[in-house]
Amino acid sequence: MDLVLPSPPIARAVLDVRPRRLRRRALVLLGALGAGCALALALLPLVPGMGPRDGNALAAERPGLGCSAQPGRLRLCSVRTDNYKDCYNAPDTVRENRSWLNWHTVWARGATYGKLPGSPQFGQRVRVTRLRGSTRMPRRAFITVRPRTSGVSLVNLRVGPPSVLWGALLHLADPATLESQPEQVAIRLHATDGTVLARTVAQYRYDAGIASAAPGTLEANGPGGRWIVNGVATATDVELGSRQVCG
pLDDT number for residue 210:
98
> Which pLDDT band, with edges at 50, 70 and 90, does 52 fall under?
very low
Crossing angle of helices 17-43 and 8-15, in 10° steps, is 40
Within 20-104, strands assigned E span 74-77, 80-83, 98-103
pLDDT of residue 91: 83
* Dihedral angle sign, alpha carbons of residues 228, 229, 235, 236: negative
Which residue in 62, 32, 31, 37 sits closest to 49, CA to CA? 62
Which amino acid is located at 109 in the chain?
R
Please tell me the distance from the alpha carbon of residue 129 to that of residue 116, in angstroms, as a whole number.
Answer: 6
pLDDT in tens, 90-121: 888 899 999 999 999 999 999 999 999 998 99
How many residues are listed for the chain in this entry?
247
Residue 204 is predicted with a pLDDT of 98
pLDDT of 37 reads 42
The mean of the pLDDT values for the chain is: 82
Whether the predicted pLDDT of 61 surpasses 90: no
Tell me: pLDDT of 58 over 70.
Answer: no
Is the pLDDT at 31 greater than 60? The verdict is no
**Percent residues over pLDDT 70 in the chain:** 74
Find out whether 153 and 70 touch, Cβ atoms under 8 Å. no
What is the DSSP-derived secondary structure letter of residue 46? Answer: G
Tens digits of per-residue pLDDT, 7-26? 444 444 433 444 455 455 55
Q: Are 46 and 32 in contact (CB under 8 A)?
A: no
Weakest-pLDDT range from 44-48, 54-58, 93-97 = 44-48
Please tell me the distance from the alpha carbon of residue 101 to that of residue 155, in angstroms, as a whole number. Answer: 11
d(CA 140, CA 177): 39
Contact 98, 88 (CB under 8 A): no
pTM: 0.75
What is the enclosing helix (H) or strand (E) of 247?
none
Reference 163, options 65, 12, 29, 48; nearest CA is: 48
